[in-house]
Amino acid sequence: MRVSDGPPESDRVDPAPHPRQTAVLFGQARAEAELLDSYRAGRLHHAWLLGGRQGTGKATLAWRFARFLLAHPDPGAPAVRDARDLSVPPDHPAALSIASGAPGDVAVLRRAFNDKSGKFYTEIRVDEVRRASGLFQQASRAGGYRICILDSAEDLNRNSANALLKLVEEPPGRSLFLVVAHHPAQVLPTLRSRCRLLLLDPLSNADAVAALVALGPPWSAAEPAALAEAAERAGQSVSGALHYLGGERLTLDRDAARLLARLPEVNWGDLHRLADRIGTDEDDFAVLTGAILDWLHGRLGQGGGDPRRLAPLAEVWEKVRRSARDTLALNLDKKTFLFSTFADLSQATRAL
């Protein structure tokens, strides 16, 4: 259930603040410096692919850079020359415009909300790209860059990816595309080749906890041990850790881990009880699917680089990712998803 104010946003993890409202970025000083140095040197590439694991600050960095560019449209200005990072005072007009969600020179490209179904579309449709392209058909209001933030590239379908490619191939002057990608290798090759890749560093557990505290209540009031455990279990993903900070979700995650550890054997009775515990809770479902995807990610990393050996697991990984999204978007039966997924996992691991 949404608890934040305003229209639904697919690039927000409720009830946390949206990345555009996040003033501090943790653990990404190197990536931040690369963007800043490129800008003040006058060699800012027109399209950047911000890659890295989900929850490491890619979207926060994109909005942080957009805020800085709106505040400092002249790369040769003393404020840019002397800047140590991309921070902007919270009372600056550019910061207030970004935080309000109405930045005139920034277009947001993300999955739209379907009012009829009450769910987000499962993909970024070509119509969203066409609407975003309108920004580049008009002059900048502030005289600086016109910026498109895409969150995330994995949500593009073939038609919308090709429509975006046309924009990126022949961009108008002083245009900037900041493309968030959790898995840059899966981005359309022709689009990826036109972007400058900037991989963000994995967060330390201390940075992940600090980022959680910086979100404010209720996370800033949580027990440090609970925050540390949630961050550790989420692989230092801030957005991932949010799913663990409520109810019995850490216990749910441990029970899922025990089932995964027994593969290719499946205790269908325990799986049935786990499915009953999830019910219709979307955060519990996110914990479970996160546990499955993390387990698959770990197994794929242990495959020794043999693509033929890894192929069955890679196929399941992609199927789980897509099926989980469809299950939420189309309000499908979560128990059916869970049993189908473990059947696929059992078959794939038995073949190893």
Dihedral angle over CA of 152, 178, 53, 163, nearest 10: 40
Six token digits for residue 198: 């900037």
Based on the structure, what is the number of domains in the chain? 2
Q: Which domain holds residue 127?
A: 19-199
Reported as a single tens digit per residue, the pLDDT across 73-125 is 999 999 999 999 999 999 999 999 999 887 789 999 999 999 998 889 999 99
DSSP state of 352: -
Q: Do 183 and 252 fall within a single domain?
A: no
Q: Has residue 229 been placed in a domain?
A: no
Last residue of some domain: 167, 199, 231? 199
Give CA–CA dist 227/46, Å, rounded. 38
Give me the pLDDT at residue 278, please: 86
82 DSSP 8-state letter: T
> What SS3 state is found at 195?
coil
User: Does 216 fall in a domain?
Assistant: no
Give domain status of residue 140, yes or no.
Answer: yes
pLDDT at 4: 47
- Under the banding of pLDDT at 50, 70 and 90, the label for residue 235 is confident
* Domain-terminating residue out of 199, 231, 254: 199
pLDDT of residue 197: 98
Q: pTM of the full predicted structure?
A: 0.84
Predicted confidence at residue 2, as pLDDT, reads: 38
My answer on whether 129 and 264 are in the same domain is no
User: Quick one: 65 and 195 in the same domain?
Assistant: yes
Are the beta carbons of 163 and 129 closer than 8 angstroms? Answer: yes
Pair (118, 179) in one structural domain: yes
Same domain, 93 and 190: yes
CATH code for the domain in which residue 172 is found: 3.40.50.300
Domain co-membership, 27 together with 148:
yes
pLDDT category of residue 303 using cuts at 50, 70 and 90: low
Across all residues in the chain, what is the average pLDDT? 91
Give mean pLDDT, residues 181-190: 91
Q: What confidence score (pLDDT) does residue 253 get?
A: 87
Residues facing residue 150 across a β-bridge: 109, 179
30: in domain = yes
Are 194 and 293 in the same domain?
A: no
